[in-house]
Amino acid sequence: MNYLEEYKKWCESDEFDEETKQELLKIKDDEKEIEDRFYKELEFGTAGLRGIIGMGTNRMNKYTVGKATQGLANYIVKRGVQNKGVAISYDSRNMSPEFSKLTALILNANGIKTYLFESLRPVPELSYAVRVLGCTAGVMITASHNKPAYNGYKVYWDDGSQIISPVDKDIMNEVKAIKDYKSIKEITQKEAEEQGLFNIIGKEIDDKYMAELKSRVLNHEIVKAQGENIKVVYTPLHGAGGESVKRILKEIGIKNLYVVPEQEMPDGKFPTVEYPNPEAKEAFKMALDLAKKVDADIVLANDPDADRLGIYAKDSKTNDYMDYTGNMSALLIAEYRLSQMKQKGILPENGMFISTIVSSNLAKAIAKEYKMDFREVLTGFKNIGEQIKIEEEKENGKKYVFGFEESYGCLIGDYARDKDGISAVMSLVEAACYYMSKGLTLWDQMINIYEKYGFYKEGQVSIVLEGADGAKQIERLMENMRSNLPEQIGKYKVVEFKDIKLDIAKNLITGETSKTGLPTSNVLYYELENDAWCCVRPSGTEPKIKLYMGVKAATNEEAENDLANLKIAMKEKVGE
């Protein structure tokens, strides 16, 4: 069935309600819009769904969410684990409350118990809840940091991590096997409650989650003492992090917290930002204006589902607010926590530090300094969660201490299995208090880290190619790079090339080939001389091809110049 036939079906079939048909009839003369909505089904990928809200097969709506949920339900029932239940949460995006309740009731209609949060909560608390409640799965309705038009559907498994192979593929197959929307089971909330299937959760999980985070503070007395002095500006960017951040900072002793008033309340329209992403400098405008007004020491922002954290810190020498990449903020936390744990004698001898292949090589240097077992995995925090689980199931497995990915997310302990922007706020504020007690700012400490290990700098370029034509162009660009292996990129010789999709690693110095040792993924990785590197992959959640790169140099200026030149060279190689 082509997209016009599918469109006609949605406009005429009794599978779809009148409101749906009316929305679609409004675009009857816009063939390009019809094609975009119906040229494919919104794919249930390795983490779930993500797409623009609206009617159509390639949109987030009650039918596509319903189909995904019925597929998940079929898988859970086949596994015989429906009695363990499913935890469900959501963030501030449009339609999130509706999609979360719909998810709960479809699961209930299949005899599966659900635990739905009473109101919006951060992603990490959902991950934590799955573990605490002993659930078989979790669902988070969120599109993370995407633009306001989007929403999404993330699926977690019983360890609190996003689904991985083979569970992800098995669920995908169940979703694909559903051929019509009439097969989605229904039940009323009243019926589900009478059967003990529909359950609301909230404060009890909140309290346990907060207690867990506070137990991870390493210097309580220093935080309390400096908490009288330090000034923190924070914005949840209209998302789910606000209440949790305010509570945790208050409970550890921070007295001067300034929340950006215009961005404090949850709002799926994200009226003050074009793009609610703490990676974007524009998202910090209001927070930085407030910081200058109150003379704040640090400025923090979570994304809407509060798994990511962006940061600016004041440089007391210039009075400028300096921005941190996701690599910088995570590795600042890592250096603080590992050094303090070592000093206090609580750093495990068999400790494990996990990062991703597109994150900073500084992570390897820090892991080596503290004699940590270093693991490098594919992009996506679920791959970090998988490593934690693998070691937990061994008799003498490694003890997870810290993990992060460059996309502004880290996890400071094994209480959850996704990146946690709430504990990252807590950890950065704790670190700021500690260094303040030593007469240092966070920016001073960042420079100290570079002077200790070398000036590592990383960057990213995203090439946006939307729609059906964009998807084909991304495929062509990847195949062109795969087929044309360069011996040099910019001023750097290529030392080793890894095609992770084909599971081939080629050493360009010796000519030897081997396997990558990583799961199959459409990723090309170039190890360059002088500890530099670059990587190319399509985004798994957005219509983008992403270029990552990193360098190491003796000075900050040299590193910045090298990185800028490597970005130019990479864009030329891809053929943008």
> 66-118 pLDDT, tens per residue?
999 999 999 999 999 999 999 999 999 999 999 999 999 999 999 999 999 99
Residue 573's pLDDT is 86
Predicted confidence at residue 471, as pLDDT, reads 82
**Topology of domain 205-453, CATH:** Alpha-D-Glucose-1,6-Bisphosphate; Chain A, domain 3 (3.40.120)
Neighbours of 92 (CB within 10 A): 25
- Taking the C-alpha atoms of residue 315 and residue 165, their distance in angstroms, rounded to an integer, is 45
Q: What is the mean pLDDT of residues 118-128?
A: 98
Q: What is the DSSP letter of 372?
A: P
Q: What's the pLDDT score for residue 257?
A: 98
Cα separation of 86 and 74, whole Å? 13
Polymer length in residues for the chain: 576
pTM more than 0.75: yes
End-to-end CA, the chain: 34
Confidence band, pLDDT 50/70/90 cuts, at residue 46: low
Q: Choose the catalytic residue: 89, 92, 144, 423.
A: 144
What CATH number does the domain located at 455-574 have?
Answer: 3.30.310.50
Judge if 40-201 and 455-574 fold alike in CATH terms: no
Q: According to the model, what pLDDT value does residue 536 have?
A: 95
Label the pairing between strands 544-553 and 533-538: antiparallel
Q: What is the band of 576 on the pLDDT scale with cuts at 50, 70, 90?
A: low
**Is the pLDDT at 455 greater than 80, yes or no?**
yes
144 is catalytic: yes
Q: What is the SS3 assignment for 74?
A: helix
Question: Residues 507-525: what's their mean pLDDT?
Answer: 93
- The structural domains of the chain, with segments of one domain joined by +, span 40-201, 205-453, 455-574
Task: State the DSSP H helix or E strand holding residue 405, giving kind and residue range, or none if neither.
Answer: strand 399-405
Q: What is the DSSP string of 6-65?
A: HHHHHHH-TTS-HHHHHHHHTTTT-HHHHHHHHSS-----SSEEEEEBSSSTTSBSHHHH
Residues 245, 149: Cα–Cα separation, whole Å: 26
What whole-number distance in Å separates Cα of residue 325 and Cα of residue 312? 9
Reading the block at residue 11, the tokens are 């406009």
Cβ-Cβ contacts under 8 Å for 17 (sequence gap 6 or more): none
The alpha carbon of residue 126 and the mean position of all alpha carbons in its chain are separated, in whole angstroms, by: 13
pLDDT in tens, 171-214: 999 999 998 999 999 999 999 999 999 999 999 999 999 999 99
Quick: pLDDT tens for 204-244: 999 999 999 999 999 999 999 999 999 999 999 999 999 99
Distance CA 352, CA 340 (A): 16
Contact in structure between 211 and 127 (CB atoms under 8 Å) = no
Residue that the structure tokens 């960017």 belong to:
237
Cα dist from 212 to 250, 391, 576, whole Å: 15, 21, 47
Q: Candidates 3.65.10.10, 3.40.50.300, 3.40.120.10, 3.40.50.1100; correct CATH number of 40-201?
A: 3.40.120.10
